[in-house]
Amino acid sequence: MPMKTLMTALLLGTATLGQAAQIDPYGYKLPPSMQPKKKAPAAKKKGPPPVDYVGEFVNFGDWKEVRSFLDDVATRDGFERAELNTLMGQVRYLDSAVQLVKPAPPGKPKNWQAYSKLIVDPVRIDNGVKFWNENRDALERAEALYGIPAEILVGIIGVETVYGRNTGRFRVVDALTTLAFSYPEAPQRTERMAFFRGELEATLLFARQNGIDPLSLRGSFAGAIGMPQFMPSSVMKYAVDFDGSGKIDLLNSSGDAIGSVAAFLAAHGWQRDLGGPLVYAASVSPNRAWEAMINQGLTAKYRAPELTAAGVTTAVPVPEQQTYGLVDLQNGAEPTEYWLANNNFFAITQYNRSYFYAMSVVELGRAVRLARGGL
């Protein structure tokens, strides 16, 4: 099945994959003992969920950049230009999306402890225990197939949407069009607008291929979809039918969400043979030679002897065969926390390019595991 059709299937739940349902895009094949049991198709929902906003009509079709984009899309993808004009006449400008993607005000200090308290909270922990218990089989299969521990998968889905409770009620086309042509002033503004234009084009393609109204699609303020909040391009590349239903549905199928997150991490550098913790609490010396190791990209590049020589120490020995990155978690006016993170921690940052995000996934997953009675 073409990838764009596959992406639409996730949203609509209409694709039939047959044998392809048992093989994911990265060549992993489920052995017979791990094949999921077929499930009865879920009842169809009545129409799209309501939106959370009114939006502003700005007549995007009159914008020079939008007209040029639509000309290109019509030529490249064979759309009728008149149909695109009609669609743009119904798109709304979403100021809330613009405000939400703006960088933090200059001088406002980051605060990991405050951020962590918002994410690793009793609601997510309690719902995480329930999610883990209800989806234990899928989590065990994903760990066996991809090598991703259950607590990491539970952590990501919990951080993203509280296990499907907050998947977004914005019209995807409104959000993507607004950010594609009215992204706020910020570093790399041009690159960000190009990214959202690509996602908008993908949305138009899969809507056409499946005969649906693109305005019916719902997601986050940035156009992310389903329990794991995949952007459309990630849906095309990494989404898998993990529950054996014959279709991919990241909005309603916990199994598909679990398998797809695992496929994403496996494709972005997760190493099943690393073992041990992803992070180790670290102390740094006053000589500050270690400062050169901060902000060296989302990668683990230093070995334990190098870190020790620069004045970085840990309370417990770290495996010397692994490489690490030095992660700094700022706490506002309080002292910064330092951690050594291995390659699997940085695989999580490919999901969201933030130390805070990756650490919150690690801590939420660990909290849920302990709440279930795990060690």
User: For the residues of 147-203, what is the DSSP string, one character each?
Assistant: ---HHHHHHHHHHHHTTTT----EEHHHHHHHHHH-PPS-TTHHHHHHHHHHHHHHH
What is the predicted pLDDT for the residue at 109? Answer: 83
> What is the distance between the alpha carbons of residues 77 and 71, in angstroms, rounded to a whole number?
10
Please answer whether residues 120 and 363 qualify as being in contact, where contact means their C-beta atoms are separated by less than 8 angstroms.
Answer: yes
Please answer whether residues 304 and 283 qualify as being in contact, where contact means their C-beta atoms are separated by less than 8 angstroms.
Answer: no
What is the predicted pLDDT for the residue at 207? Answer: 79
Alpha helices, DSSP H, located in the chain: 3-12, 64-77, 81-88, 95-101, 112-119, 122-134, 136-146, 150-161, 172-181, 189-209, 232-238, 254-267, 304-309, 343-349, 355-371
What is the predicted pLDDT for the residue at 37? Answer: 53
Closest CA to 48 of 245, 251, 305, 187: 251
Both structure tokens of 224: 């992310």
Residues with Cβ within 8 Å of 235's Cβ and at least 6 positions away in sequence, in order, are 6, 7, 10, 225, 226, 250
What is the predicted pLDDT for the residue at 249? Answer: 87
Please answer whether residues 92 and 174 qualify as being in contact, where contact means their C-beta atoms are separated by less than 8 angstroms.
Answer: yes
Both structure tokens of 97: 């999306």
Catalytic-labelled residue, pool 160, 191, 291, 320: 160
For β-strands 170-171 and 218-219, DSSP reports them as: antiparallel
What is the predicted pLDDT for the residue at 36? Answer: 53
What is the predicted pLDDT for the residue at 182? Answer: 97
160 catalytic per annotation:
yes
What is the dihedral sign for C-alpha 312, 318, 321, 326?
A: negative
What is the predicted pLDDT for the residue at 235? Answer: 83
What is the topology classification, in CATH, of domain 3-106+165-238? Helicase, Ruva Protein; domain 3 (1.10.8)
At 243 the three-state DSSP class reads coil
What is the predicted pLDDT for the residue at 40? Answer: 46
Domain ranges of the chain: 3-106+165-238
Buried b (16+ CB within 10 A) or exposed e, 242-265: bbbbbbbbbbebbbbbbbbbbbbb
**For residue 112, which amino acid is it?**
W
Per-10-residue mean pLDDT, the chain, length 375: 40 34 41 50 54 84 96 96 95 94 81 95 97 98 97 98 95 96 93 96 80 87 94 87 89 96 97 91 94 91 94 93 95 94 97 96 98 85
> What is the distance between the alpha carbons of residues 230 and 261, in angstroms, rounded to a whole number?
9
Please answer whether residues 264 and 256 qualify as being in contact, where contact means their C-beta atoms are separated by less than 8 angstroms.
Answer: no
Residues with Cβ within 8 Å of 236's Cβ and at least 6 positions away in sequence, in order, are 3, 4, 6, 7, 202
Please answer whether residues 138 and 243 qualify as being in contact, where contact means their C-beta atoms are separated by less than 8 angstroms.
Answer: yes
At 210 the three-state DSSP class reads coil
Please answer whether residues 204 and 177 qualify as being in contact, where contact means their C-beta atoms are separated by less than 8 angstroms.
Answer: no
